[in-house]
Amino acid sequence: MKFLIPELDLTLQPALQAKLDGLAKPPGALGRMEALSLQLGLIQQRLDPCVGRAVLLVFAGDHGLTQEGVSAYPASVTLAMVRSFLAGRASANAFASATDTEIRVIDAGVAADLPAHPNLLAAKIAPGTRNAAREPAMTPAQCAAAVQLGAEIAGAQVALGFELIVLGEMGIGNTASAALLMHRLAPMPLALCVGLGTGHDAAGLARKQAAIARAAARSDAKAPMAVLAEFGGFEIAMMTGALLGAAQARTPVLVDGFIATAAALVAVRLHPAALPYCIFAHCSAEAGHQRMLSAIGAEPLLNLGLRLGEGTGALLCVPLVRAAARMLTDIASLDDVLRGAL
């Protein structure tokens, strides 16, 4: 499996920086938005970047690890939430509507048959992963197929004219899977990687920690694809591929919370050249997310205490990305202002 991800060409950086500094504002007055504007210009290799159409890709999959009680919710909630996305009634739908972002739900490995729907992409590798506390979650072939499919899905969305790919997910038990990926690929002690997930009490957290420890003890995998196969989920593997596919197509990717960042961690460990194509949306309230962001060298745009997933935090950053692009196209230069040439 090969990805031809171009190193970010910095040739245009002086011209972009000069244009930003010459706008009708003090240099640096728009803070991190200026860095984001520069990043978009470098990704698109133009002085007038454009971020119009955005699409949220919600990758959904079930986890065999839920058999160990790692989630406060039953595995059936994955299917229920997929139905909610397709009905337009999930949190992600509300935020997508508010930010003019389209949604596609990808069945990466939901443990149920899903009827056809205009916004559903059928890409099921298997009906859920195996129990990673007892055996590898995926075979190497399944893992590679999921990554490849994710890349193809993102590439197809770019070909349809989407200029921003937003990553989201749904999969009961996937904070446990993400914690294991973080543990091996950050790398970091397991105790710093495991959090409450979606609503555990103290007893539930202890049960989750014990199950994750059993999974970690079962395998000493350290290579990114091996770690992903041992501990990942089909939805995480497809997000990994989607990020790589978007980077290959020179398209910015908005990365959501803890689970999406775990996919980004795998992606950049596989292909470090993919990192400059990533925009990290927010720091979630999930324990370990800030540490994982730091391990990647990422600085998120927002910190709103979110811990839902679905792409909700990333969706809230879509207007910021569009605004950053508009800085280079819509703001007058200081020279024009002073000359009255508006």
Query: Which residues are the active-site residues?
Result: 310
Kindly list the distances between the CA atom of residue 263 and the CA atoms of 234, 241, 268, 342, in Å, as whole numbers in the listed order: 11, 9, 9, 46
What is the DSSP track for 115-181? Answer: ---TTEEE--SSSS---TTTS-SS-HHHHHHHHHHHHHHHHHHHHTT-SEEEEEEE-TTHHHHHHHH
State whether residue 255 is helix, strand or coil: strand
Contact (Cβ atoms closer than 8 angstroms) between residue 330 and residue 302: no
Farthest CA pair distance, the chain: 72
Q: Are strands 278-280 and 253-255 parallel, antiparallel or unpaired?
A: parallel
Q: State the DSSP code for 114.
A: -
Spatial separation of the C-alpha atoms in residues 158 and 334, rounded to whole Å = 35
Kindly list the distances between the CA atom of residue 238 and the CA atoms of 4, 119, 165, 283, in Å, as whole numbers in the listed order: 17, 17, 13, 22
Q: Indicate the burial class of 82 (C-beta count within 10 angstroms; 0-12, 13-18, 19 or more).
A: buried
